[in-house]
Amino acid sequence: MTETAISKPPLTIHLCAPRGFCAGVDRAIQIVELALAKYGSPVYVRHEIVHNKFVVDGLKAKGAVFVEELEEIPAADADRPVIFSAHGVPKSVPEDAESRRMFYLDATCPLVSKVHKEAEIHFRRGREILLIGHAGHPEVIGTMGQLPEGTVTLIETEDDARRFTPKSDKPLAYITQTTLSVDDTAGIVAVLQDRFPEIAAPHKEDICYATTNRQEAVKHVAPLVDAMIVVGAPNSSNSQRLREVAERAGCKTAVLIQRANDISWPDFEGIRTLGLTAGASAPETLVEEIINSFAGRFDVTVETVRTAEETISFNLPRELRDMISPAQAVSG
């Protein structure tokens, strides 16, 4: 008796490019892995090195120990390396590490460090500083923590920008979190510039290249598909912004998921086209996992939609550069 094959419905997956790991995330993960190779385990990491559970769990399995504060590190391990996450930390954190005589490596993304330096320059020039960003995000905490408490005012929305009242007659300047929605930020900046025409802007755009490129790819794909999946963690700012961008670009079903087993299949019934991207801290293996899961239910065709090329890379901390060959060396 011949078994009749059950045909699968066709599905075209429009795979956004660029997607996934950015240079800052790749560098941060490499710092943890090289530190483990050079110094052995345990290597301590303050906060998630990047916002992705799959990545964090993988590093834990290799011997990394994640803590939220330095005081959680046992006194007996005070000589073990401690790494600061890609999001950056307030100045008080390395000061605390030095007071405890800890050896630390800073995995702060160089583009976040650039914003830190901008804040310090504005402060030295006597400007009142506004930070456009999201309250409670580690990057915002780290940036505000570069200067004395109360020096930086957080602006989250256009309404905040309209309500803002300068504390003095000092000239104003604004900086931004690197992982914001490009369009939302532009709206906030427009309000500030309309109210304060002389406000100093960043010398170069603060929103990082990877955030911008991934949002542009989603804007291109989202109007063309029945549904959109963003692979990323719920506490990943850049991943959340990608989902919002997809919705605004006209995709009625836009969801953020971490793994294939998080897919709610009723959301994708009857679709013929699917957009797929990944936040800057989501590894490509999770994208492949999603594609394979859909291939189990659909006759899948994958088409890559590339809207930008990325060639940026960043130097490692000098303490770890002896761990890579000259051919592997990167420049920032």
| Arithmetic mean of pLDDT over the chain | 94
Look up the pTM and report it: 0.91
- Res 324: pLDDT: 72
Residue 58 has pLDDT above 70, yes or no: yes
Tokens of 235: 């506490």
The predicted pLDDT at position 203 comes to 84
Better-predicted residue by pLDDT, 194 or 204:
194
Summarize pLDDT for 223-249 with one digit per residue, the tens.
Answer: 999 999 999 999 999 999 999 999 999
Residue 56 backbone zone (phi > 0: left; psi -120 to 50: alpha; other: beta): alpha
The token pair at 173 is: 């300047």
What number of CA atoms fall less than 13 Å from residue 226's CA on the CB side?
12
Q: What pLDDT shows up at residue 204?
A: 84
List, in sequence order, the alpha helices (H) in the chain.
Answer: 23-39, 53-62, 92-99, 110-124, 138-144, 158-163, 182-195, 209-221, 237-248, 284-295
Backbone angles phi, psi at 93, to 5 degrees: -70, -55
Give pLDDT tens digits for 17-36: 999 999 999 999 999 999 99
CB 105 within 8 A of CB 127: no
Q: Which domains does the chain have, with CATH numbers?
A: 10-21+209-306 (3.40.1010.20), 23-109 (3.40.50.11270), 111-195 (3.40.1010.20)
Residue 331 banded pLDDT, cuts 50, 70, 90: very low
pLDDT at 2: 42
| Cα 173 to Cα 203: distance, rounded to the nearest angstrom | 11
Sole residue written with tokens 């598909």 = 225
Range 248-267 average pLDDT: 96
In this predicted structure, the answer to whether residue 59 has a pLDDT above a threshold of 90 is yes
Spatial CA neighbour of 131 closest among 106, 111, 150: 150
Handedness of CA 268, 304, 20, 189 (dihedral sign): negative
What DSSP string runs through 187-203? Answer: HHHHHHHHH-TTPBPPS
Residue among 268, 209, 205, 280 at smallest CA distance from 242: 280
CA nearest to 137, candidates 43, 219, 217, 241: 241
Residues 33, 62 contacting (CB under 8 angstroms): yes
Inter-residue contact 40 to 75 (CB < 8 Å): no
When comparing pLDDT for 95 and 206, which is higher? 95
- State pLDDT tens for residues 111-156: 999 999 999 999 999 999 999 999 999 999 999 999 999 999 999 9
pLDDT at 330 over 70: no
Residues 6+ positions from 110 with CB-CB distance below 8 Å: 24, 27, 314, 332
Signed CA dihedral, 316, 319, 323, 327: sign only: positive
**AA identity, residue 29:** I
Q: What is the mean pLDDT of residues 64-85?
A: 95
Q: How many CA atoms lie within 13 A of 312 on its CB side?
A: 18
Active-site pick, 33, 118, 128, 139 = 139
Q: What one-letter code names the amino acid at 194?
A: D
Note the pLDDT tens digit of each residue in 152-185.
999 999 999 999 999 999 999 999 999 999 999 9
What pLDDT does 3 receive? 43
pLDDT for 5: 56
Instruction: With beta carbons less than 8 A apart as the criterion, state whether 207 and 161 touch.
Output: no
DSSP state of 266: G
Provide the pLDDT confidence category of residue 327 given band limits of 50, 70 and 90.
very low
* pLDDT tops 60 at residue 209: yes
Collapsed DSSP state (helix, strand, coil) of residue 173: strand
Does 158 qualify as catalytic in the annotation?
no
Class of residue 23 by CB neighbours under 10 A (exposed 0-12, middle 13-18, buried 19+): buried
The H or E element containing residue 231 is strand 227-231
